[in-house]
């Protein structure tokens, strides 16, 4: 499926009819639509999604959901805001209040039908090479329009130029979703190249769940899961017709409860959306009041006041701690000031310590020698030898012992201190001569900085308290406090809604399990028994097939992501392995380096994150086999020269049969990059702007950079 033409009529910046026809005569697949910032590139992309999905575009991208919320009146207000400004001004001149009331009541008449040229806007997409099962189809045209006077949206789908019963029977939104492009996977075909790095930052459970849903849709898994679900529902219908009245009634009751729980979830989601809108509105009002306070000279919010008061409390406590530490340091100051005297005291203490130690050693040695001498003399006395010989031995022993007895030569110690006192002195000395100065400087610096913070915080709190006496500020503050209280209440309600939804989901899981168990026990009528067995057999086969299909798609996707990333990146074999893991409805994609460790995606550069997201998109699109044009805004943002060249030559030419790029010339597409791209470019268009209205003009690719 490729797009043959796109037509914008009075849509936002685009006044009147603006049409682009895409040439399909050659096999070049790139189409460039360029223009200055503010000339309508993003608006053009926005118009395509609005044409196809209308209100459902909020489900495609978070930025579109926020735009609808910020419109001030939801989707309807966004539609009213999308009329071209020139047309809006023209209507203000041409249409009186009485004419407007009559038109809303009776509709357009011959007299006022001319107003449609200003009151309506529309976007049309015409496709060729379309395949719709069982319906011959050469072309398909989707037109979505809106009339600001009647406040009505209209969708028209033409197959080969005429309306078809299929589109009316199943509904336009369902037809587009099922036969053109499912909204869950539209983000892979319409994307901002700079913003797709969000795919690399998919961390929350909700984000992983959305990615898994899109993954199942893209790879065709969802169709088989829907078929399995339909067969399970069919089996339940058989049991609801059973003659087993007791079990049947119990099953009916459980199914009714299940339905009620689903309705509760829907109602809960609706209420949550309403609360989100209310919260957004309250925050806007709060911001306005904050601006008023700033204009009146008091821009501090209550939260900021509380923060400043907390700062005062904390810094005061820290101030006391610093003072105590400084007091301790000052106690050692006299030692530090004494300098040479402290050094002399240390030398004397060392000398005295050595002298005492020497005296103790000599005393201990002499005692030991005396003990040895006594024992030797006693032993000699016991010997059976001549008395003369005993005396000679006694003299020899005493002579030898006296030879090794010593007297102290170090003199008397001047400072007789204990070892504990000496060790304590050394500790103080080492502290003063090594870290005392540095620590003291750090402490005084911290004390000074803390004092400055304390003084600033005290001054801010004091100023605010003085300003609060002003009557104007008082009134604004009172209104702001009321709104902030409402914001707190709404946030609490939203949390409560989320908690309720969690409880409902748990209860729903229990009920679904009970229904599954009960359905096995209900006896069936003979007429349905055979059908039920066939359905059961098909479900078993589908379960087996789904396991096989998911594994096959999983391995194929891993291979494609790894191959594309290593091909596009500077680093050879940067990724050694890609692992796609799916548990229930949550998907995780992990990248592994050559050493076997997981590569954290947040550690990648923005350019590498963009390459990862680009590789994931390419892998999903290729694996899906879906033939649909790819639209890329800011195509080469964040890429360096080498990466950009690879994207131009290896990504854009292969991602789809038709790729439409929206580059900002000289910034997102340089002259050199355009030269590399030219062999793949089919045609180029420039967005021009005159008097705040944009229009589209085709240009020769060789003249594009001259614009």
Task: Specify the higher pLDDT residue, 210 or 394.
Answer: 394
Pairing of strands 152-159, 162-163: antiparallel
Q: What is the pLDDT of residues 144-180, one digit of tens each?
A: 999 998 889 999 999 998 988 888 888 888 889 888 8
Could you tell me which residues come within 8 angstroms of residue 637 by beta carbon, excluding any fewer than 6 positions away?
193, 194, 610, 668
Alpha-carbon Rg for the chain, nearest whole angstrom, is 43
Taking the mean position of all CA atoms in its chain, how far away is CA 500?
Answer: 25
Percent of the residues in the chain that have a pLDDT greater than 90, as a whole number: 11
Beta bridge partners of 697: 686
How sure is the predictor about 671, in pLDDT bands with cuts at 50, 70 and 90? Answer: confident
Number of C-beta neighbours around residue 654 at 10 A = 15
Q: Average per-residue pLDDT in the chain?
A: 80
pLDDT at 238 over 80: no
Structure tokens at 56: 């459902």
Average pLDDT over residues 95-110: 82
Average pLDDT over residues 83-88: 91
- The conformational region for residue 383 under phi > 0 = left, psi -120 to 50 = alpha, else beta, is beta
Q: Hey, CA dihedral for 121, 126, 130, 133, is it positive or negative?
A: positive
- C-alpha closest to that of 178 among 192, 163, 157: 157
Gap between the Cα atoms of 405 and 402, Å rounded = 5
pLDDT at 378 over 70: yes
Average pLDDT over residues 23-27: 79
Average pLDDT over residues 186-191: 80
Determine the number of helices (DSSP H) and then strands (DSSP E) in the chain: 23, 15
- C-alpha closest to that of 296 among 469, 461, 472: 472
Task: Specify the higher pLDDT residue, 606 or 392.
Answer: 392
Task: Specify the higher pLDDT residue, 377 or 677.
Answer: 677
Gap between the Cα atoms of 176 and 140, Å rounded = 11
Structure confidence at residue 96 (pLDDT): 83
From residue 509, give the alpha-carbon distance in Å to each of 95, 207, 536: 57, 22, 21
Structure confidence at residue 703 (pLDDT): 86
Pairing of strands 2-11, 630-633: unpaired
pLDDT at 576 over 80: yes
Gap between the Cα atoms of 705 and 670, Å rounded = 9
From residue 515, give the alpha-carbon distance in Å to each of 227, 236, 382, 501, 605: 19, 9, 109, 20, 50
Of the spans 222-236, 594-608, 686-700, which averages the highest pLDDT? 686-700
Task: Specify the higher pLDDT residue, 320 or 440.
Answer: 320
From residue 587, give the alpha-carbon distance in Å to each of 206, 225, 582, 584, 590: 10, 16, 5, 8, 10
Structure confidence at residue 103 (pLDDT): 83
Three-state SS across 230-256? HHHHHHHHHHHCCCCHHHHHHHHHHHH
Task: Specify the higher pLDDT residue, 335 or 78.
Answer: 78
Gap between the Cα atoms of 602 and 566, Å rounded = 18
Structure confidence at residue 68 (pLDDT): 84
Q: Hey, CA dihedral for 391, 397, 398, 399, is it positive or negative?
A: positive
Tokens 């700033």 belong to 294
Structure confidence at residue 609 (pLDDT): 77
The burial class, CB within 10 Å (0-12 / 13-18 / 19+), for 568 is buried
pLDDT at 53 over 90: yes
Structure confidence at residue 620 (pLDDT): 78
How sure is the predictor about 140, in pLDDT bands with cuts at 50, 70 and 90? Answer: very high
CB 539 within 8 A of CB 228: yes
Q: What is the pLDDT of residues 464-510, one digit of tens each?
A: 655 555 667 777 778 888 888 888 888 888 888 888 888 888 888 88
Structure tokens at 421: 């006192």
Gap between the Cα atoms of 342 and 594, Å rounded = 61
The SS3 call for residue 362 is helix
Q: What is the pLDDT of residues 290-344, one digit of tens each?
A: 767 666 555 455 566 677 778 888 888 888 888 888 887 777 777 767 767 777 7
């Amino acid at each position: 499926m490729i797009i043959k033409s796109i037509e914008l009529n009075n849509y936002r910046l685009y006044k009147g009819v603006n049409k682009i026809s895409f040439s399909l005569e050659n096999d070049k697949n790139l189409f460039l639509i360029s223009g200055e910032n503010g000339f309508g590139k993003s608006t053009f992309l926005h118009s395509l999604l609005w044409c196809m999905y209308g209100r459902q575009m909020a489900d495609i991208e978070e930025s579109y959901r926020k735009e609808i919320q910020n419109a001030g009146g939801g989707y309807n207000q966004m539609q009213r805001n999308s009329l071209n400004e020139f047309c809006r001004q023209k209507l203000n001149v041409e249409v009186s209040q009485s004419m407007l009331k009559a038109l809303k009541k009776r509709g357009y008449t011959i007299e006022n039908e001319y107003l449609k040229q200003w009151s309506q806007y529309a976007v049309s997409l015409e496709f060729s090479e379309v395949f719709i099962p069982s319906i011959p189809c050469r072309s398909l045209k989707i037109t979505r329009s809106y009339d600001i006077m009647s406040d009505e949206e209209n969708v028209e789908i033409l197959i080969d130029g005429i309306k078809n019963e299929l589109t009316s029977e199943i509904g336009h939104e369902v037809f587009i979703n099922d036969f053109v492009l499912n909204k869950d996977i539209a983000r892979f075909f319409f994307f901002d190249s700079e913003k797709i790095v969000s795919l690399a930052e998919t961390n929350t459970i909700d984000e992983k769940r959305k990615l898994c849903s899109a993954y199942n849709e893209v790879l065709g898994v969802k169709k088989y899961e829907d078929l399995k679900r339909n067969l399970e529902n069919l089996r339940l219908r058989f049991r609801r017709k059973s003659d087993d009245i007791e079990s049947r009634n119990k099953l009916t009751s459980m199914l009714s409860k299940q339905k009620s729980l689903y309705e509760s979830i829907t109602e809960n989601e609706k209420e949550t959306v309403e609360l989100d809108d209310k919260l957004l509105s309250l925050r806007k009002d709060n911001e306005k009041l904050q601006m008023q306070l700033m204009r009146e000279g008091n821009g501090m919010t209550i939260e900021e006041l509380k923060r400043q008061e907390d700062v005062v409390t904390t810094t005061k406590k820290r101030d006391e701690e610093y003072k105590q530490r400084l007091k301790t340091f000052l106690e050692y100051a006299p030692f530090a000031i004494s300098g040479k005297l402290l050094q002399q005291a240390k030398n004397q203490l060392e000398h005295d310590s050595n002298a005492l130690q020497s005296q103790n050693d000599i005393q201990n040695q002499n005692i030991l020698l005396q003990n040895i001498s006594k024992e030797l003399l006693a032993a000699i006395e016991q010997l059976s030898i001549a008395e003369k010989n005993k005396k000679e031995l006694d003299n020899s022993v005493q002579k030898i012992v006296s030879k090794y007895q010593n007297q102290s030569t170090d003199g008397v110690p001047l400072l007789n201190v204990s070892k504990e006192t000496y060790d304590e002195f050394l500790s103080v000395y080492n502290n003063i001569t090594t870290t005392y100065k540095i620590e003291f400087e750090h402490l005084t610096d911290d004390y000074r900085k803390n004092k400055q913070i304390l003084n600033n915080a005290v001054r801010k709190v004091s100023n605010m308290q003085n300003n609060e006496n002003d009557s104007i500020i008082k009134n604004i503050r009172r209104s702001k406090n009321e709104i902030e209280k409402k914001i707190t209440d709404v946030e609490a309600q939203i949390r409560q809604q989320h908690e309720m939804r969690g409880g409902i989901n748990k209860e729903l899981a229990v009920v679904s399990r009970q229904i599954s168990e009960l359905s096995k026990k209900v006896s069936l009528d003979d007429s349905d028994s055979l059908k039920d067995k066939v359905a059961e057999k098909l479900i078993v086969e589908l379960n087996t097939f789904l396991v096989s299909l998911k594994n096959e798609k999983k391995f194929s996707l891993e291979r494609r992501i790894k191959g594309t990333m290593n091909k596009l990146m500077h680093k050879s074999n940067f990724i050694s392995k890609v692992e796609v893991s799916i548990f229930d409805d949550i998907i995780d994609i992990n990248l592994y380096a050559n050493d076997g460790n997981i590569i954290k995606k947040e550690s990648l550069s923005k350019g590498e994150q963009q390459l990862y997201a680009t590789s994931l998109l390419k892998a999903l699109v290729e694996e899906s086999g879906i033939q649909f044009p790819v639209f890329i805004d800011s195509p080469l943002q964040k890429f360096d020269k080498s990466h950009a060249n690879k994207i131009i030559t290896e990504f854009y030419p292969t991602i789809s049969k038709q790729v439409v790029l929206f580059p900002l010339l000289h910034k997102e597409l340089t002259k050199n990059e355009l030269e590399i791209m030219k062999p793949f470019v089919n045609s180029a268009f420039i967005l021009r702007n005159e008097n705040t209205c944009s229009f589209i003009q085709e240009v020769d690719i060789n003249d594009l950079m001259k614009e």
